[in-house]
Amino acid sequence: MIIKAVDLGNKKELLGEVNPLKKSVKILEKEPKAFKKIYGYPSSGSTFRLYSFPFKDRSKIEKAVKTQLQMDLPFPFDHIEYSYFVRYTKNRTEVFCVIVKKEELERLKDGDIVDSEVFALLRLVKFNGINNCEIVHFSEGYIVYIKIEDQSINQVRVFSKIPEINENMYLSGNIPEDFKGYKLLKNPTDDPSLNVAYGLILRGLDDTGIDLLHKSEEVYTEKILKGAFFIFISVFILNTAIFLKINLAEKQLKFVKEKEKELFIKGFNYTGEVFDPLEQAKGKMAAVRSFSVRKEDAVDILNFIGRSKKSLRIGRIYRINITSERFSIQGTAESIKDVERFKENLSKKYVSSIDETVSTPEGMIRFSISGEIR
């Protein structure tokens, strides 16, 4: 960001390139085509007020400041323009207000910001790491005294003649020869007459200050509205994405369930000629739940039977019945030993017994096994 600073009090100008990320300022010699113009309004044409309120609500502060100014100022309210800087403390709100005549701002409409020279000097004080001080700034035709406490403006007075100055005060501006040995408020150019101009450039790093044109406030309001709009759009897109994701998840879940059903049927070598054991089991489970509380889910029983079948040479299972207390299995195997091993495997979890074994013309063993669900 390039800033052209115009000190109206001392009639000084300074060009600076500000890097907010590095918090650095580079003074430029040539004026570029594009820059941000900031005026430093002189204290001699300003009136200052310091107010303190026991609340922090922005709308209340605005109303309170307007009311106070209407009571305090000796001239019509519609003839003035004002801007203020708010500082919040633990229990109160401190408001430093700058008031100027509207007609004086007409010639400054080309500026992006019209700040006060007192805030430019405050930013320079903060830039130098000073917390508390008194400043006497010499400008053309007047002298301004500023008292700063905790890096905030506490008092401002404007003099037409040189006031009493002590060795603890910082001198700034066009300092007379008689005071060259006093303590100076410095900026990186080493020219104290450019203090206000340099402080105006620091506005790019420190927004402590005012804007009598209120353009920065309009930009802030516009940013708030744009931010609210983008938040609304983001929430809408997010909700739409969640809705679509839920619908997709439901479809995928349905697909997975169908695949599980197919795998289960294949695991039991089911051909579809009689019925679907899984669907029968679900029906049985629903019927049982209407009369009593099951000790174990029917699907768990079916899964155990399926795992037992896979580990042995069981031809196929063509019927399964499950009640709340018992189950029965009908199927075929290659030998009696295979049926016995199947029964023993089931007995690891259930009390099982072989109810019937019959040899088929094909040389297979048709069997019936029942078990007790504990």
Residue at 175: amino acid letter? I
Lowest mean per-residue pLDDT among 34-43, 100-109, 152-161, 227-236: 227-236
pLDDT for 265 beyond 80: no
pLDDT for 371 beyond 80: yes
pLDDT in tens, 112-170: 999 999 999 999 999 999 999 999 999 999 999 999 999 999 999 999 999 999 989 99
H-helix segments, the chain? 58-72, 102-105, 117-127, 195-201, 215-267, 277-289, 298-310, 336-347
Q: Which is more confidently placed, 291 or 341?
A: 341
pLDDT in tens, 271-289: 444 444 445 555 545 544 5
User: Domain limits of the chain?
Assistant: 2-130+188-213, 268-372
H-helix segments, 268-297? 277-289
Could you tell me the two tokens for 244?
């679509």
pLDDT in tens, 158-214: 999 999 999 899 999 999 988 878 999 999 999 999 999 999 999 999 999 999 999
pTM, entire model: 0.59
Q: Which is more confidently placed, 270 or 188?
A: 188
In this structure, how many other beta carbons lie within 10 angstroms of the beta carbon of residue 359?
Answer: 10
Q: Of all residues in the chain, what percent are helix, strand and coil, respectively (each to 5)?
A: 40, 30, 30
Contacts 24+ apart (CB under 8 A), 348-351: 349/304, 350/374
Q: Does domain 2-130+188-213 have CATH number 3.30.70?
A: no
pLDDT for 266 beyond 60: no
Q: How far apart are CA 134 and CA 121, in angstroms?
A: 11
Q: Is 268-372 in the same CATH topology as 2-130+188-213?
A: no
Q: Does domain 268-372 have CATH number 3.20.20.70?
A: no
pLDDT for 223 beyond 50: no
pLDDT in tens, 64-78: 999 999 988 888 888
Query: What mean pLDDT do residues 24-46 have?
Result: 93
164 and 89 in contact (C-beta within 8 Å)?
Answer: no
27 and 60 in contact (C-beta within 8 Å)?
Answer: no
